[in-house]
């Protein structure tokens, strides 16, 4: 499946990013427009456009996404105070880039509900 999104280009190395973590399945980098002192985007390398496109075949990949957030939160020193993981899905969910990704936000106390 071709992935012409900005995140597909980042995965292929065609566009630079400020990388904080990478393994075989995931890439994580700093959001270019941070909404918190720590704002990381964690993306599965598999090009799933949005959460509703994921299937049972992606169960392990989706679980691994959360565990990767844990690992990065610990690495960046925000695990103890706490953090938030967000997946925006579709236009109503505020999704702008149609390559599945999770926002990891922390480094300050976050209010609820979000906007």
Helix (H) or strand (E) holding 29: strand 26-30
Residue 99 known to be catalytic: no
- Pick from 11, 17, 28, 65 the residue near ligand AMP by CB under 6 A: 17
Query: Would you count residue 32 as binding ligand AMP (CB under 6 A)?
Result: yes
Query: Which listed residue (39, 99, 101, 103) is catalytic?
Result: 101
User: Which CB sits closer to ligand AMP, 73 or 105?
Assistant: 105
Contacts of 41 (CB under 8 A, 6+ apart): 7, 28, 29, 30, 31, 101, 102, 103, 104
Query: Would you count residue 114 as binding ligand AMP (CB under 6 A)?
Result: no
User: Which CB sits closer to ligand AMP, 80 or 100?
Assistant: 100
Query: Would you count residue 6 as binding ligand AMP (CB under 6 A)?
Result: yes
* Residues 48-107 contacting ligand AMP, CB under 6 A: 88, 94-97
Give residues in contact with ligand AMP (CB under 6 A). 6, 15, 17, 31-33, 41, 88, 94-97
The residues assigned a catalytic role are: 101
């Amino acid at each position: 499946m071709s992935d012409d999104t900005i995140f597909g280009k980042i995965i292929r190395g065609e566009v630079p990013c400020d990388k904080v973590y990478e393994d075989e399945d995931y890439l994580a980098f700093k959001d270019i427009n941070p909404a918190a002192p720590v704002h990381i985007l964690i993306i599965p390398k598999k090009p799933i456009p949005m959460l509703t496109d994921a299937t049972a075949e992606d169960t392990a990949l989706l679980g691994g996404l959360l565990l990767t957030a844990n690992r990065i939160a610990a690495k960046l020193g925000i695990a103890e105070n706490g953090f938030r993981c967000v997946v925006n899905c579709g236009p109503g969910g505020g999704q702008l880039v149609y390559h599945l990704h999770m926002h990891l936000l922390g480094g300050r106390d976050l209010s609820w509900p979000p906007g």
